[in-house]
Amino acid sequence: MTWPFNFGTATSPVAASHLDDMFNQCAAMDSLPCTATGTNAISLSPQANVPALTAYTELCGYRFRAVGTSSGLVTAQYNGLGYLNVYHSDGVTAVGTGDIVIGQQYCLRFSQALNSGVGGFFLEAPSMPAGGVTPWGTPGGRLSFYSTVPIYLSTITSPQVIYYVPYVHQWCPIYNGSNVQMYQFSSPISNQSGPYLSMGGAANFPAASMFDLFITLISGVPSLVAIQWTNTSTRATTLATLGGFLTNAGTATAQTGANTSMSLPQNQGTFLGSFYCPGGTPGASAWILTGSGSGGASPPVQAYLSNYYNAVQVSLHSTDTGAGYTYTSATPRAWRGSGNNALYFVQASSELAYSLTPYTQTNYVGVTGTYASIGYALNQTGSLPSAFNANTLLTNMSNSFPAIQLPATWVNNPPAGLVCLFGMEVSDGASANTFNPSSNQTLLGNVWL
Amino acid sequence: MAMIKNVQKLHETVAKVAPIDGVSGDGEIWFQKQATDKQKKAAVKAVEAFVDSEPDVRVPVIENVPLPAPKSIFEA
């Protein structure tokens, strides 16, 4: 194909209009800067000093900056010419809701073959920053009280450091204020440990307080920080989904170590889980999954670290090895009246159900009309309960059902925060029924941690 | 102290000297609210003086209850 006019071979004066034709020809080979109006029906006008072409030319482009985000099928026109449909690069899929974003620049390139020969535009989308299009996924580590073991099943009585240990991979999505990127929280790949939060027995982690754990960037380095709850059942800073993962919904003070803190901007902490500092010494937690003793595990079962991502089901059990005992009262109480006949643990959310099963035995006194029952109670304070939770009065031993006691499992979605599950008992108010005659009464729990 | 096996007998013994909710075979006593200090002391002495014995063996007795007609265990 050649130019419509060749000045170099002219042998006589030529009309100046040929110059205009040549300039328009050049313009039609590029993309013309335009001003746009309209959101879904976009009208494009050539900007100053840009030729106003009077016909569409094959593959000529019309460049503009969107003044609205499309909310339906998009059509466009240039310089008062007819509106035509706008398509993605396949020439078939129409551009529709959300495909054009306010403030971003696009180019519509005409092609006569589109829309069965009626003509239409290809949409050329803008490039995106690399971080904005890089896919991200689930955080790859697990919170643990052991620096290099993501699932630790032995006792750590009073841990003062919480680690984020590589489990399925070493990456975690973090919103850095501009976009979401996957950050490597542990390297090189042979490294079995990750960032950690050291409480160090400090007062900024008070006794009997609940915290959420987040991973965020401190000087560009993925780091663990903690935001305190209002109490053991109420978050002071709620969680919000960003890009499919949970973050801090608002700016909040976050503890970065022993007596150090920072202001964590909104959404810039990726939620990982929760932990609890029990009563006693501040700046320490507890990880005791099993135990036994008269009145239940001593010290009591306390699993005070809960993972929101990559949680695994952990078995907790507390066995009362004390002597058998009688109880006559019709007022329910914890087994043996002991707060150690319980399972104490933390749940980062209420999404994963736990199951609870007793292993116990009750001997009724053998008199018609007497009875004794067992069941469960749940609270979030740790105070000794005096009532069963609804629908958990599991077994009613009486002279009609004298000695056959089946395990009865209670499956329930936990509340988020501190969860205190007690084995409960009650008698008929008169009879000296015997509990735990075999000294092996046990509370078994399967909990996601 | 040695673990007491016959806690029901122990209960009966202690209940004669103090108002209690229960006793344990390891000597723990759960008093009712109205128990006086004098009664509590008497109860402790009763536990200390208790002579243990084998507990009564209670053989389960299944009463002659008519069985319901066979049907699904699940609600329709």
Tokens of residue A381, six digits: 């304070």
**Does B32 map to a domain?**
yes
User: Whole-angstrom Cα distance, residue A134 to residue A129?
Assistant: 9
pLDDT band at A133 (very low <50, low <70, confident <90, very high): low
Q: Which residues of A touch B20 (CB under 8 A)?
A: 328
Number of domains in chain B: 1
Mean pLDDT over A329-355 rounds to 94
Q: Work out the number of other CB atoms within 10 angstroms of the CB of residue A20.
A: 11
Query: What pLDDT is attached to residue A131?
Result: 46
What pLDDT was estimated at residue B56?
63
- Domain assignment present for residue B55? The answer is no
Of residues A220 and A303, the one with the higher pLDDT is A303
With an 8 Å Cβ cutoff, are B10 and A326 in contact? Answer: yes
Q: How much is the pLDDT for A376? A: 87
pLDDT tens string B32-53:
999 999 999 999 999 999 998 8
Mean pLDDT, residues A272-300: 95
Mean pLDDT lowest among A357-361, A413-417, A421-425: A357-361
Transcribe A227-294 into DSSP letters.
EE-SBTTB-SS-EEEETTEEEESS-EEEEEETTEEEEE-TT-SEEEEEEEE-SSSSS---EE-EEEET
Q: Is the pLDDT of residue A135 over 50?
A: yes
Least confident of A121-125, A286-290, B68-72: B68-72
Q: How confident is the model at residue A14 (pLDDT cuts 50, 70, 90)?
A: confident
Residues composing chain B: 76
Cβ–Cβ contact A336 with B under 8 A: yes
What angle do helix axes B7-15 and B37-49 make, rounded to 10 degrees? 140
| Angle at CA of residue A107, ends A102 and A108, nearest 5° | 105
Confidence of residue A300 (pLDDT cuts 50, 70, 90): very high
Does residue B1 surpass a pLDDT of 50? yes
pLDDT exceeds 60 at position B60: no
Q: Where are the domains of chain A?
A: 7-127, 141-277, 289-448
Rounded to a whole number, what is the distance in angstroms from the first to the last CA of chain A? 72
Residue B34 lies in a domain: yes
Q: How far apart are CA A15 and CA A40, in angstroms?
A: 42
Alpha carbon of B8: minimum distance to chain A alpha carbons (Å): 6
Categorize the per-residue pLDDT at A142 as very low, low, confident or very high, splitting at 50, 70 and 90: very high
Chain B residues touching A336 at Cβ < 8 A = 24, 28
| pLDDT, position A187 | 85
For B56, nearest residue in chain A (alpha carbons):
A365
**CB contact A157 to B (< 8 Å):** no
Residue B62 banded pLDDT, cuts 50, 70, 90: very low
Model pLDDT, residue A397: 64
Chain B residues within an 8 Å CB radius of A362: none
B32, B54, B56, B58: best mutation site toward chain A, by most A Cβ within 10 Å?
B58
Which residues, other chains included, contact A131 with Cβ-Cβ below 8 Å and sequence gap of 6+? A176, A178, A179, A180, A181
Token pair belonging to A241:
């989904």
The whole-angstrom separation of Cα A396 and Cα A375 is 9
Domain that holds residue B23: 7-49
How far from each other are the two terminal CA atoms of chain B, in whole angstroms?
Answer: 57
Per cent of chain A over pLDDT 90 is: 65
Alpha carbons within 13 angstroms on the beta-carbon side of residue A442 total 14
Evaluate whether residue B40 is within a structural domain.
yes
Position B72 scores a pLDDT of: 45
State whether CATH 1.20.910.10 applies to domain A289-448: no
The H or E element that residue B43 is part of is: helix B37-49
Does residue B70 have a pLDDT over 60? no
> What pTM, to 2 d.p., does this model score?
0.72
* pLDDT of the residue at A373: 81
Question: Does B66 contact A at CB distance below 8 Å?
Answer: no
pLDDT tens digits for range A216-238: 999 989 999 999 999 999 999 99
Is residue B76 domain-resident?
no
Question: Would you say residue A7 has pLDDT above 60?
Answer: yes
β-pairing verdict for A305-307 and A270-277: antiparallel
pLDDT score at A403:
46
Instruction: Give tens-digit pLDDT for B10-36.
Output: 999 999 999 999 999 999 999 999 999
A residues 407-436 closer than 8 Å to B (CB): 432, 434
Mean pLDDT, chain A, rounded, equals 89
Indicate whether A402 pLDDT > 50: no
CB contact under 8 A, B7 and A324: yes
Q: What is the mean pLDDT of residues A185-211?
A: 94
Q: Do A365 and B15 touch (CB under 8 A)?
A: no
Going by pLDDT thresholds of 50, 70 and 90, the confidence category of residue B63 is very low
Please indicate, yes or no, if residue B65 is contained in any of the structural domains: no
As a dihedral over the C-alpha atoms of residue A86, residue A91, residue A92, residue A94, rounded to 10 degrees, the angle is: -20
Each residue of A66-110: pLDDT tens digit?
998 888 899 999 999 999 999 998 898 889 877 788 888 999 999
- Whether B73 is covered by a domain: the verdict is no
